[in-house]
Amino acid sequence: MTEGGASAGQTAPGGSSGAPTGQGPVPEEDAAVIDLETLSREELEALQAEVAAAIATLERQRKAQAQAELARRARELGFTLRELTGTSELAPWELRYANPANVNQTWCGRGRKPRWFEKAMAAGRTPEDMLI
């Protein structure tokens, strides 16, 4: 038995596992008691996937609420959220170079040079040789 009265692998009466849910205790009639020790590996993995999905949904909801609150506050101050965060729609960089050995490997010329570009340069190629 654990401190709350439930044996290991079970949720406590009332559905509380001791972990905060953010919505208060679960009413006893809505609580599901799961004896984890009786579940197969497949059932445990399915339960784990359900829990992960529920957490992801909760995080998406919290993020949407936070964005709405920030947007509301920005409007109160006479701004848009985009003006304050500095985000904007950026056009993708135009590709400038292609790997002579594999034309599916491309590079726009910004940031770190890809390995294929450096190898081609070491082999005597010039950037102009690899222009698209």
Same domain, 34 and 50: no
> What pTM, to 2 d.p., does this model score?
0.42
Greatest pairwise CA separation for the chain in angstroms: 75
**pLDDT for 24 beyond 60:** no
**pLDDT for 33 beyond 90:** no
Question: Would you say residue 92 lies in a domain?
Answer: no
Same domain, 1 and 30: yes
Q: In total, how many domains does the chain have?
A: 3
pLDDT on residue 2: 43
Taking alpha carbons only, the member of 65, 64, 62, 32 closest to residue 50 is 32
Same domain, 33 and 50: no
Integer CA distances (angstroms), 7 to 12, 33, 63, in order? 8, 11, 36
- Token couple for 127: 């950037």
Question: Would you say residue 91 lies in a domain?
Answer: no
% residues pLDDT > 70 (the chain): 73
Same domain, 52 and 77: yes
pLDDT on residue 7: 45
Question: Would you say residue 5 lies in a domain?
Answer: yes
Binned at pLDDT 50, 70 and 90, residue 52 comes out as very high
pLDDT on residue 12: 43
Same domain, 3 and 33: yes
- Token couple for 62: 């919290």
Question: Would you say residue 14 lies in a domain?
Answer: yes
Task: Give ∠ CA 33-39-45 in degrees, rounded to 5.
Answer: 100
pLDDT tens-digit map of 55-110 = 999 999 999 999 999 999 999 999 888 888 876 556 677 889 999 889 889 999 98
Phi-psi region for residue 131, left (φ > 0), alpha (ψ -120 to 50) or beta?
beta
Residue 123 structural domain: 97-130
Question: Would you say residue 90 lies in a domain?
Answer: no
**pLDDT for 10 beyond 60:** no
Residue with tokens 């959220």: 81
Taking alpha carbons only, the member of 132, 100, 93, 106 closest to residue 119 is 100
Same domain, 4 and 20: yes
